Amino acid sequence: MITDLWYKNAIVYCLSVESFMDSDGDGVGDFRGLMRRLDYLHGLGVTAVWLMPFLKSPGRDDGYDVADYYSVDPRYGTLGDFVEFTHAARQRGMRVLIDLVVNHTSDQHPWFRSARSDPNSPYRDWYVWSKKKPKNANEGMVFPGVQKSTWTYDKAAKAYYFHRFYHFQPDLNTANPDVQAEILRIMGFWLQLGVSGFRMDAVPFVIAEKGPDVAGEPVEHFGMLRSFREFLQWRRGDAIILAEANILPEDDKKYFGEDGDRMHMMFNFQVNQTLFYALASSDTAPLTKALEATRPDYATAQWGIFLRNHDELDLGRLTRKQQQQVFAAFGPDKSMQLYDRGIRRRLAPMLQGDRRRLELAYSLMLTLPGTPVLRYGDEIGMGDDLSLEERHCARTPMQWSNEPQGGFSESPDTFLPVISAGAYGYEQVNVAEQRRDPGSMLNWMERMVRMRQETQEIGWGEFDVVDVGHPSVLALRYVWRNNTVLFLHNFHAEGQVITFPLTPPEGEPNRLVNLLSEDHSEADAKGRHTITLEPYGYRWFRVGGLDYAYRRSER
């Protein structure tokens, strides 16, 4: 049991070591470079750093094709550098989460090389094999349009092996007790080196039954999740798992557990997709429905709230009509789309660099029920490079300054090209210039993050959606320990005037105190508030007296 539930009010920042900062001039980011930028993250208000894969890998899928679970890829440094990094983060009060990619390995992993070379290998049953090509080999591909099958013939093994992802990523037979034990060893190893938890990749595939005879929806073994949780709590009581599981709301409890005894956190894909539909259509009804449908049943469960991540914006849970509306608004060209289900762009170009809409989106990320997860570069409004293949377009190097290569590296040849020229080039969009500009996106984000940390009702409290009579306005109220906060967001390109009644906490004036400006609101004689929201406007209010939070927020 995690007594302080630190993850309920964390600010998570996702980054790739490869993309963040190069310290030795080889064109690739590394841990020593990352350590140089820890004070930047600390100043931004980050409390947990989530690292994308950095383990030894051939690098055919940005490190998700792991070749050794117990070493750092030499391009990024050494295990010693990693330990120095976790120590430096801890000194600044920041926790470290790392990607746990255990659904599959690289085909270059020693386990697979042994398994394919000898049918009597102790690792043979660590993977999933079939003598004949299964009838469902062309179904269930994660990357349709790029991937041709989920079963590939291996000449050395004289059998087909199963791979839910790319052909060079053979699936581990996670039903094998030896594989499960190895997963626990991997977790224990990195916990010992200072991490505070894991973002577990592709959780539904990890626990799904695998094999040539599996047809339809595979059986999921949820007991596996409980064993992961128990191990974490035994080895390090405050460690967590943040699960990547794009599932339907009716399945949420299966992953969180009936009594909160499985995953600590999950990304809320349902809210994410309906949020983008609301941004595209100004219709908040599906978003409201998703919020209600994903309300956790117990206090320890928490959602990860995000806007964009390192993958495509997956729209697979929307109706076809809703999908087309989002595509039309944010990714109308085929070059902007991916896998027949998503958009591969970063947020700033999707919203056409409109500062009003960007602020609206990030205000939502910080105030929706859950823990905000920010992606590197989004705090300065970084763009994308659509000339790069698949998801690489949104994984370009961090833009630190207007120096060559955006201050990321001294090498003219970086692992991916730094975005240059144009509205999102490093010459225009970078940390150094925005740091000096009080009105910049970066400084706005820092102020908003600080206010989110002071508004702990979002992480701890119960929420309800307040009906304000406008379908384009989302009003969320949180109550926790007799504290009440209210957040208003207008998704429409036109301003809205809303009037609604509000009952203040007992003994407090019927007043809305604006947390971001001096624009407060006093109720009329009938106890109603009238608020004018500008196009794409938002408000953060505390209900009650001006110093109300300081009198009642002590835990």
For the annotated catalytic residues, the residue numbers are 201, 244
Length of the chain: 555
d(C-alpha 306, C-alpha 267), whole Å: 8
Distance of CA 231 to the CA centre of its chain: 24
What 3-state class would DSSP assign to 364?
helix
Under 8 Å between Cβ of 68 and 106 = no
d(C-alpha 51, C-alpha 4), whole Å: 23
Under 8 Å between Cβ of 198 and 187 = yes
d(C-alpha 281, C-alpha 284), whole Å: 8
Six-digit token string for 138: 């062309």
d(C-alpha 408, C-alpha 424), whole Å: 15
Number of Cβ within 10 Å of residue 450's Cβ equals 13
Q: Which of 404, 387, 384 is nearest to 395 (CA)?
A: 384
| Strand-pair partners of 171 | 104
Q: Which of 385, 374, 360 is nearest to 474 (CA)?
A: 360
Q: What would the DSSP string read from start to end of 308-344?
A: --SS-EE-TTS-HHHHHHHHHHH--SGGGEETTTEE-
Q: Which of 391, 387, 386, 390 is nearest to 375 (CA)?
A: 391
Number of Cβ within 10 Å of residue 283's Cβ equals 18
Q: Which of 336, 348, 357 is nearest to 379 (CA)?
A: 348
Strands 462-465 and 342-343: unpaired
Range 186-197 burial, b when 16+ CB lie within 10 A, else e: bbeebbeebbbb
Q: Which of 160, 50, 53 is nearest to 106 (CA)?
A: 53
Six-digit token string for 134: 């299964």
Q: Which of 300, 312, 325, 317 is nearest to 247 (CA)?
A: 317
Cα-trace Rg, the chain: 24
Instruction: For tokens 């914006």, name the residue.
Output: 313
- The separation between the first and the last C-alpha atoms of the chain, rounded to the nearest angstrom, is 18
Residue 57, CA distances (Å) to 61, 437, 528 in order: 9, 40, 60
d(C-alpha 445, C-alpha 378), whole Å: 9
Six-digit token string for 213: 């005879």
Six-digit token string for 172: 């581990």
d(C-alpha 257, C-alpha 273), whole Å: 24
